[in-house]
């Protein structure tokens, strides 16, 4: 009887052990890809944005294997591997997810010390992984400020959310010279025009990050974004363009 009881207790202890998950990626954007997997595992929205890719050593030419307009090379980030381990208990709440996310970003920064370094920002009730440095064409790494972190002057009245987003991105370009295209956005899809959300914005101090977040959360608190960039496109001179994907 004692042996049976001991077996039952041991089985109970074994079943109570949290499961360990390992996120392991090998991707042109390893940090972005790992964050997507952590977001899915935790259920917590996590926003990510690239640093500009200006250093030739960070890019690989895929022109031979991918379609592209004449005279334009297809240059993708060289990327690499990244991993992080965590238990199911760790990502069961927001505080635990924050610790795992910080561990993931720290792993990335240590794995790629010669390139852009990233930081976790906990703001507006959301997590953001943002570049705090970038590598110039010369290869020198220097401090970097995201175009989303510049105060803007934006005024829109009774505008569709999609139009409001375009107004915010236009204000960013006017202030910083950085063009941000809309890659994918839920604001212009899924509903008839009469049913789409309409918004008002009037600010001279809020950042693009705050304004885009407010638009996003107004539609769904589960949304997050990826703001991605590639090499400079010769069709636009030295302008380094980003692509904002909200989903």
Segment 157-178 shows an average pLDDT of 93
Segment 111-116 shows an average pLDDT of 95
Residue 66 has pLDDT above 50, yes or no: yes
Percent of the chain with pLDDT over 90: 64
Residue 12 has pLDDT above 70, yes or no: no
Residue 237 has pLDDT above 50, yes or no: no
Q: Which of 4-13, 97-106, 159-168, 211-220 is most confident?
A: 97-106
Which of 130-139, 193-202, 209-218 bottoms out in mean pLDDT, i.e. has the lowest? 193-202
Q: How many CB atoms lie within 10 A of CB 140?
A: 9
User: In this structure, are 16 and 96 located in the same domain?
Assistant: yes
Supply the pTM of this predicted model: 0.87
User: In this structure, are 106 and 155 located in the same domain?
Assistant: no
Residue 241 has pLDDT above 80, yes or no: yes
User: In this structure, are 100 and 24 located in the same domain?
Assistant: yes
Residue 34 has pLDDT above 60, yes or no: yes
| pLDDT bracket for residue 62 (50, 70, 90) | confident
Q: What is the pLDDT of residue 5?
A: 53
Contact between 129 and 48 under an 8 Å Cβ cutoff? The reply is yes
Instruction: Tell me the backbone φ, ψ of residue 227, rounded to 5 degrees.
Output: -110, 110
Burial 157-190 (b: 16+ CB within 10 A, else e): eebbbbbbbbbbbebbeeebebbbeeeebbbbee
**Cα(24)–Cα(37) distance, integer angstroms:** 9
**Which CA distances in Å does 157 have to 37, 161, 172, 202?**
38, 11, 18, 8
Q: What is the pLDDT of residue 67?
A: 72
How many structural domains comprise the chain?
2
Burial of 82 from C-beta contacts in 10 A (0-12 / 13-18 / 19+): buried
**Which CA distances in Å does 184 have to 14, 45, 56, 180?**
45, 17, 27, 12
Residue 186 has pLDDT above 50, yes or no: yes
Q: What is the pLDDT of residue 238?
A: 47
User: In this structure, are 236 and 127 located in the same domain?
Assistant: no
| pLDDT bracket for residue 231 (50, 70, 90) | low
Residue 23 has pLDDT above 60, yes or no: yes
| pLDDT bracket for residue 230 (50, 70, 90) | low
Segment 141-165 shows an average pLDDT of 94
Residue 195 has pLDDT above 70, yes or no: no
User: In this structure, are 17 and 104 located in the same domain?
Assistant: yes
Final residue of a structural domain among 109, 144, 179: 144
User: In this structure, are 23 and 50 located in the same domain?
Assistant: yes
> What is the domain extent for residue 5?
1-144
User: In this structure, are 153 and 78 located in the same domain?
Assistant: no
User: In this structure, are 112 and 25 located in the same domain?
Assistant: yes
Residue 13 has pLDDT above 60, yes or no: no
| pLDDT bracket for residue 124 (50, 70, 90) | confident
Percent of the chain with pLDDT over 70: 85
CATH code (residue 167): 3.55.50
Contact between 137 and 56 under an 8 Å Cβ cutoff? The reply is yes
Residue 223 has pLDDT above 70, yes or no: yes
Residue 234 has pLDDT above 60, yes or no: no
């Amino acid at each position: 009887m004692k042996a049976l009881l001991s077996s039952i207790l041991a089985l109970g202890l074994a079943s109570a052990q949290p499961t360990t998950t390992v996120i392991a990626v090998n991707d042109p954007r390893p940090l972005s890809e790992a964050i997507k997997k952590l977001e899915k595992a935790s259920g917590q929205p996590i926003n990510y944005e690239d640093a500009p890719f200006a250093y030739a050593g960070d890019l690989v030419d895929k022109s031979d294997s991918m379609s592209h307009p004449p005279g334009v090379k297809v240059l993708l980030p060289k990327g690499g591997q990244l991993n992080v381990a965590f238990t199911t208990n760790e990502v069961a709440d927001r505080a635990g997810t924050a610790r795992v996310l910080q561990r993931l970003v720290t792993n990335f920064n240590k794995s790629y010390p010669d390139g852009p370094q990233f930081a976790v920002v906990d703001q507006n009730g959301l997590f953001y992984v943002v570049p705090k440095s970038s590598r110039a064409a010369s290869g020198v790494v220097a401090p970097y400020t995201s175009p989303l972190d510049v105060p803007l002057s934006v005024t829109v009245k009774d505008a569709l959310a999609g139009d409001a987003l375009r107004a915010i991105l236009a204000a960013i370009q006017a202030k910083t010279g950085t063009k941000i295209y809309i890659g994918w956005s839920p604001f212009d899809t899924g509903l008839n025009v009469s049913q789409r959300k309409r918004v008002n914005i009037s600010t001279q101090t809020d950042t693009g990050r705050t304004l885009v977040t407010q638009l996003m959360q107004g539609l769904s608190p589960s949304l997050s974004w990826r703001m991605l960039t590639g090499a400079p496109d010769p069709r636009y001179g030295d302008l380094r363009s980003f692509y904002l994907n909200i989903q």
